[in-house]
A and B are shown apart, each in its own frame.
Chain A
Amino acid sequence: MWSQIKTAFSMLAVFTVLTGLIYPALVTGLAQECFPRQANGSMIRRAGKVVGSGLIGQPFSDPKYFWGRPSATLPYPYNAANSGASNLGPSNPVLLSEVRARVQALRAADPEDRADVPVDLVTASGSGLDPDISPAAAFYQAARVARARHLKLSRVRRLIARHVTGRQFGILGEPRVNVLKLNLALDRMR
């Protein structure tokens, strides 16, 4: 019995070193060597300065920016140090009222548009950090952004079209638009 425990203990020690220290260190070494940008958070640099992560969304509420997905992170939205979803059940009245409020906010910012709001624009994402919105959600906001920035609608729409990431290899995932990158591009339009 005692020798059994001793064996178990030594095995645990060996595997802790092997899989808990050597393995992550090896992966880190290789990752930093081969994919340093990705391994460190896929940061976007403008003029040598980091302006955000291409994978982590940021909160927007100004009419002149495209808004991203609602975020349910605590204590404030898009808290990238505490990711999470709303976990509201589909039948939860709170969900219904939040969606209604978001639709209201969008309509208030652009009273002329009576089209149905794309669902991803009024529902919280799974991570609370979703960097993307659907192309439909981007085009839905085009008129508001164009007006706020005094740009021609067609220009804004073209900008969106350029920022649509298609399905990977034409099959995987869904078409999407990275909100931060789109807004950075907007800021550079004059």
Chain B
Amino acid sequence: MTGNDYLQVALLLGVLALLVKPLGGYMAGVYEGRIAFLNRFAAPVENRIYRLCGVDPAEEMHWTRYALAMLSFNLLGMLAVYALQRVQAHLPLNPEAFPAVSPGSSFNTAVSYATNTNWQDYSGEATMSYLTQMAGLTVQNFVSAASGMAVLVAMIRGFARDAAATIGNFWVDMTRSTLYILLPLSLLLALVLVSQGVVQTFSAYRTVPLLQPLHYRAVRQSGAGQRITDAGDNPVTEKLVRKNQLIAVGPAASQVAIKQIGTNGGGFFNANSAHPFENPTPLSDFLEMIAIVLIPAALCYTFGSMVGDRRQGRAIFAAMAIMFVAMLVPVEHFEQAGNPLLAKTGVSQTANALQSGGNMEGKEVRFGVVNSALWATLTTTTSNGSVNSALDSFTPLAGMVPMGALQLGEVVFGGVGSGLYGMLVFAIIAVFVAGLMIGRTPEYLGKKIQAFEMKMAAVVILIPPFLILVGTAIAVMIPAGRVAAANPGPHGFSEILYAFSSAAANNGSAFAGLSSNTPFYNTALGLVMLFGRYWLMVPVLAIAGALVRKKKVPVSAGTMPTHTPLFVILLIGTIFIVGALAFFPVLALGPIAEYLKMVAVH
């Protein structure tokens, strides 16, 4: 890495650190209803929504009721997105006259957006009408993020409240998250992005002339779209000329803003954030990266503030930041080192003043290696999953880190809400083992951790590896799973493994060579996304419900401090042990084997 590379990383982390406190404090204020400005000016709108929907904002919910509200809302959202895709041909705002999306793909996409995954088995600009993108996908970008935040806030209340029975009101938490946090930030970001060149229009795709007409060969197709083959069963190709370029546009900025802020990640265009209309300049790239990690990071502060001990939030933030940097370094290193196989092809991969060098396959020049690696690490440690470069083309070990981040459960910043509640579950496990080691029934934030919490925490850490490992195992055992891999050897295995890791972690990024728009993958990944989201959310709410009943144990010298560097190390160690140990062998058969083979050949 060059000096300027370090500067870019430092700038990002520095700006993030500056924003965490004000936003975190603001969010705590929002959930505790003590932002005077909002109470005066925005409350009428908020109350109007409640009246309209028959919600009593003062009603406090038991955890089961909270979970039920969350689940029913998410389920309806899923149905709405599914329906919208199926009937988009008959609805307005479809200038390219796209037909209905296939049922399998619609199911996959509906689940994908409701679960905050944003796995995309479709190409946005070639599939979805503007209305589907807005009223279906953008809406889910907001409310799935808000659902995650609501569940987190409920869990925080489990710690903060002393011997209570209820954990808040889902409708209120969800509404406030959307209205006071996600919407204002998105509006702001959307406009800044437009200023950088992100498109925002309802008009049809634009046709522009090509400076040099393009001559190319293509497989000849019959009228029905069938490939025409010659007597030897080889496809018949024809020479074609194009003089124009059809440029896809659309209301992208409004969707890109929330896809980053809500750690959703689903691109308006197929190339996602590598597309110049989603991410046109280094500044847009920088701001989008900040937007991706902002709320997950700031929620640490919110957490500290709401449990009445900011040091607790700081410790969690520190653990996340350390792990983030630890993951970023190898990605930067291996990507900058370039592809060893290209060393003897007469290609220059070294960085100098005139080029970033490194492994540029699948990367954009304006971002170079440093911002591509930074983005990849940020979007996979959070549950964002948008890409500004092709992860599939990353060098093996650099690609293994994002995959590892997914397998660790995306707790390094993580998704909005989901990252922190996942982290708190790890903290519960860390505290349990450590608590034993100091000779006390373990407690976290004054709440004793006992059998029930352990059971739920065990479920939370068991489910993702189960979904990933068993899902991948099934995929590699059946032909429908195997044929989808685009790359040969261990890399093809990595593609399949990555897909299940991404779906289970609700990330949405991909080793995109995998042809996943097939009945098998649409169904399997759809189910994995569903279970990966709600099989964690419900036990997390159960933990919240159990914790909230407990009396707070007063702090003494015998209490294990959970705000110290030692605890930070312990927490990181726990995440590593629980996460890495489960996946080491499978990674050995994918990226590690690929790397060692490449090095051996070289």
Asked if A and B touch directly (CB within 8 angstroms), the answer is yes
Which B residues lie within 8 Å of A180 (CB)?
211
Q: Which 7 pairs across A and B sit closest by C-beta, in order of nearness? A: A173-B282, A126-B274, A87-B513, A89-B491, A85-B390, A174-B368, A83-B271
Q: Within 8 Å of chain A (Cβ to Cβ): is B477?
A: no
Q: Which of A54-71 contact B (CB under 8 A)?
A: 54-62, 65, 69
- For B194, the closest partner residue in chain A by CB is A31
Can you identify 8 A-B contacts, CB atoms within 8 angstroms?
A3-B54, A15-B142, A20-B135, A80-B248, A81-B125, A90-B491, A119-B355, A171-B8
Given A28-B200, A120-B355, A139-B354, A86-B393 contact (CB < 8 Å): yes
Q: Which of B197, B258, B370, B388 has the most CB of A within 10 A?
A: B197
Given A41-B206, A58-B245, A119-B342 contact (CB < 8 Å): yes
Instruction: With both chains docked as a complex, state the minimum distance between the C-beta of B95 and any C-beta of chain A, in angstroms.
Output: 12
- Cβ proximity bits A163-188 to B, threshold 8 Å, 1 near / 0 not: 00001110111111000100110010
In the complex, which of the residues A26, A50, A56, A84 contacts B276, with contact meaning CB atoms closer than 8 Å? A56
Q: Within 8 Å of chain A (Cβ to Cβ): is B384?
A: no
* Contacting pair A12 B270 (CB below 8 A): no
Which A residues lie within 8 Å of B41 (CB)?
none
* Contacting pair B139 A20 (CB below 8 A): yes
Which A residues lie within 8 Å of B210 (CB)?
52, 58-59
- Cβ proximity bits B71-84 to A, threshold 8 Å, 1 near / 0 not: 01101110010000
* Contacting pair B597 A83 (CB below 8 A): no
What is the CA–CA distance of A95 and B396 in the complex, to the nearest angstrom? Answer: 14
Number of interface residues of A (CB under 8 A): 109
What is the CA–CA distance of A119 and B392 in the complex, to the nearest angstrom? Answer: 18
* Contacting pair A90 B206 (CB below 8 A): no
- For B219, the closest partner residue in chain A by CB is A75
Instruction: With both chains docked as a complex, state the minimum distance between the C-beta of B54 and any C-beta of chain A, in angstroms.
Output: 6
What is the CA–CA distance of A11 and B136 in the complex, to the nearest angstrom? Answer: 14
What is the CA–CA distance of A175 and B370 in the complex, to the nearest angstrom? Answer: 13
Binds A, one of B183-191, B318-326, B460-468: B183-191
Q: Which of A66-105 contact B (CB under 8 A)?
A: 69, 75-93, 95-96, 99-100, 103
Instruction: With both chains docked as a complex, state the minimum distance between the C-beta of B536 and any C-beta of chain A, in angstroms.
Output: 20
Binds A, one of B292-300, B345-353, B578-586: B345-353
* Contacting pair A12 B348 (CB below 8 A): no
In the complex, which of the residues B138, B353, B511 contacts A23, with contact meaning CB atoms closer than 8 Å? B138
- For B248, the closest partner residue in chain A by CB is A81
What is the CA–CA distance of A57 and B392 in the complex, to the nearest angstrom? Answer: 22
- Cβ proximity bits B201-240 to A, threshold 8 Å, 1 near / 0 not: 1110110111110101011000000000000000000001
Q: Within 8 Å of chain A (Cβ to Cβ): is B371?
A: yes
In the complex, which of the residues A39, A41, A107, A133 contacts B247, with contact meaning CB atoms closer than 8 Å? A41
* Contacting pair B197 A38 (CB below 8 A): yes
Given A7-B53, A77-B214, A173-B285, A86-B362 contact (CB < 8 Å): yes
Q: Within 8 Å of chain A (Cβ to Cβ): is B357?
A: yes
Given A28-B254, A38-B195, A56-B245, A129-B361 contact (CB < 8 Å): no
Instruction: With both chains docked as a complex, state the minimum distance between the C-beta of B64 and any C-beta of chain A, in angstroms.
Output: 12
Instruction: With both chains docked as a complex, state the minimum distance between the C-beta of A44 and any C-beta of chain B, in angstroms.
Output: 9
What is the CA–CA distance of A4 and B196 in the complex, to the nearest angstrom? Answer: 43
Instruction: With both chains docked as a complex, state the minimum distance between the C-beta of B239 and any C-beta of chain A, in angstroms.
Output: 12
What is the CA–CA distance of A168 and B279 in the complex, to the nearest angstrom? Answer: 14
Which B residues lie within 8 Å of A103 (CB)?
345-347
